Amino acid sequence: MDFYERVKIILAEIPEGRVATYGQIALLCGRPKNSRQVGYALNRGLAGKGAPAHRVVNSRGILSGAASFDTPDMQKQLLESEGVEVFWEKDGWRVDLKKFGWKHTMEDAVRFHAMLKK
């Protein structure tokens, strides 16, 4: 299965009000070293229209995909509309991953693996 199709499938599973990291998406796609490729997919729209790209942040919880949205603060606004608290730090807007990070289970990972194998 195409990597970008895998990204699309995993993105659709991120619950509203939660965020995932680029690395987490890459891992669940079966390509743990391809976090930059996840970012590329989101930036270029390769994960499909309507993909919840706003729910993806970097490994420190920083909103690093502003260039992919219509306005620089759109990702922040979309997350806040889902109840995710976003706060400012010297490195930029950030989300507390311990509080709002998507905590997928091993059962989720096994289910994704089976879906992506088809």
- Is 66's pLDDT higher than 80? no
Domain boundaries, the chain: 3-117
Distance CA 86, CA 51 (A): 20
Q: What percent of the chain has pLDDT over 90?
A: 76
Burial of 84-101, coded b for 16+ CB within 10 Å and e otherwise, reads bebeeeeeebbbebeebb
**Between residues 68 and 89, which one has the greater pLDDT?**
89
Query: Considering the entire predicted model, what is its pTM?
Result: 0.92
Fold of 3-117: Arc Repressor Mutant, subunit A (1.10.10)
Give the tens place of pLDDT for each residue, 4-17.
Answer: 999 999 999 999 99
The first and second tokens of residue 77, run together, are 């606004």
Q: What is the DSSP string of the chain?
A: --HHHHHHHHHTTSPTT-BEEHHHHHHHTT-TT-HHHHHHHHHHTTT-TT--GGGEE-TTSB---GGGSSSTTHHHHHHHHTT--EEEETTEEEE-HHHHB----HHHHHHHHHHHH-
Residue type, 108: D
